[in-house]
Amino acid sequence: MSEAETMLSVDNLKVYFDIKPEGAMLWTKPLRLKAVDGVSFDLKKGETLGIVGESGCGKSTLARAVISMVPSESGRVVWMGSDILGLPVDKMRPLRREIQMIFQDPLASLDPRMTIGEIIAEPLKTHMRNLKPKEIKERVQAMMDKVGLLPNQINRYPHEFSGGQCQRIGIARSLILEPKLVICDEPVSALDVSIQAQVINLLTRLQKELGISLIFIAHDLSVVKHISDRVLVLYLGNAVEMSDGDELYMRPRHPYTQLLISAVPIPDPEIEQNREVDLIKGELPSPINPPSGCVFRTRCPRVQEKCAKEKPVLQTIEGTHQVACHFPLD
């Protein structure tokens, strides 16, 4: 894995939003919401990076900032050797071909007035303008076949499909240009469990066939564990731990990760009923006014004085295992 070339390198990425409090006057200084506060990671070719965290911790914002869909405050995003952060729109457009995205709500991500043939063909029409209608149709039908849709359904509309099928359409659309990286923004959260498995298996199969990299965002730890090579844990816009998937689940070092993993339900009613889960106490603090020092200190069971004063940085502690904690678990 380590020999493979690095495709995407994100360095100290920060995304801040200015928020005007209600009833603000023109001269009122806006509040700063630190949605993503200095996150760094690398992604290698063919690798899957899972990003997990509570809702509102900045997972989606991070992914969108990487592809310049939301403006970033500072940091660097290096894609195939060149910095792409803050590129003008027309310079960014050719890159859109290489990085595609799959969305959370399968039905909402498909235009209800277009047939699925038109939907899947849209990236082709945008980036390969000299294709003839017949070639486009052939490619669309081949892609539909690949994602497990019947090619003769090409003229149907999104509302005539189930959620899982709609997600397949979304996957087909994202893969038709043969991108190098696909960002999956909670692609299975809106589906029920059996369909989740189908869609995830489809994604892993296509990843192997096409050799694409994935950034897989989810809040379901077991899903992320299944699909990811490495996992990044976010808390309140900060990376708290990053490690190889299995290592992270076997030996979490950050107290937050440990609490998250202990909360994953076990699919056995007897064990599930009798075990004690350490719940994370308290609420997620507001990103407008994050705690000083370590952002997790207000809810951490191992909190000490140092945590309020110094902000821990992401440090490598063993092999590829990185953790941002003054007092990591063993």
Partner 1 sequence: MAIADQKVQEFSERLVTAEEIKGRSLWQDASRRFFRNKAAFASLIVLTLVVLFTFVGPYFAVWSNEEIDWSVLGQVPTKGVPSFESGHFFGTDDLGRDLYSRVIQGTQISLLVGIIGAGIAVLVGTFYGAVAGYFGGRIDSAMMRTVDILLAIPYMFILILLLMVFGRSVLMLFVGIGLVSWLGMARIVRGQTLSIKNKEFVEAALVTGVHPFTIIFRHIVPNLLGVVAVYATLLVPEMILTESFISFLGLGVQEPNTSWGALISQGASTIQYGTLWQLLFPLFFFVISLFSFYFIGDGLRDALDPKDR
What is d(CA 248, CA 107) in angstroms, rounded to the nearest whole number? Answer: 33
**DSSP string covering 56-102:** TSSHHHHHHHHTTSS--SEEEEEETTEE-TT--HHHHHHHHTTEEEE
The answer to the question of residue 127 lying near partner 1 (CB under 8 A) is: yes
What is d(CA 141, CA 229) in angstroms, rounded to the nearest whole number? Answer: 31
Complex with partner 1: residue 8 or 280, whichever CB lies closer: 8
Complex with partner 1: residue 70 or 284, whichever CB lies closer: 70
The answer to the question of residue 129 lying near partner 1 (CB under 8 A) is: no
Distances (CA, A) of 72 to 33, 163, 232, 313: 12, 33, 20, 20
- Give the number of residues written for the chain: 330
Among 21, 30, 71, 112, binds partner 1 (CB under 8 A): 112
Which range binds partner 1 by CB under 8 A, 12-20, 147-155, 213-221, 243-251? Answer: 147-155
Complex with partner 1: residue 51 or 221, whichever CB lies closer: 51
CB of 100 to partner 1, least distance (A): 7
- The single-letter code of the amino acid at 69 is M
Distances (CA, A) of 111 to 7, 54, 155, 168, 191: 31, 29, 14, 15, 19
CB 249 within 8 A of CB 243: no
Complex with partner 1: residue 108 or 264, whichever CB lies closer: 108
Complex with partner 1: residue 97 or 302, whichever CB lies closer: 97
Among 21, 55, 111, 178, binds partner 1 (CB under 8 A): 111
What is d(CA 137, CA 284) in angstroms, rounded to the nearest whole number? Answer: 48
The answer to the question of residue 113 lying near partner 1 (CB under 8 A) is: yes
Which range binds partner 1 by CB under 8 A, 41-49, 111-119, 231-239, 264-272? Answer: 111-119
What is d(CA 44, CA 215) in angstroms, rounded to the nearest whole number? Answer: 11
What is d(CA 213, CA 5) in angstroms, rounded to the nearest whole number? Answer: 12
User: In the structure encoding, which two tokens stand for residue 261, read together?
Assistant: 């993993």
The answer to the question of residue 126 lying near partner 1 (CB under 8 A) is: yes
Among 4, 24, 108, 288, binds partner 1 (CB under 8 A): 108
Interface positions, 64-103, toward partner 1 (CB under 8 A): 67, 69, 92-97, 99-101, 103
CB of 152 to partner 1, least distance (A): 5
Binding mask 3-32 for partner 1 (x = CB under 8 A): ------------------------------
* Residues contributing to the site for partner 1 (CB under 8 A): 67, 69, 92-97, 99-101, 103-105, 108-116, 122-123, 126-127, 150, 152-157, 159-160, 170, 173
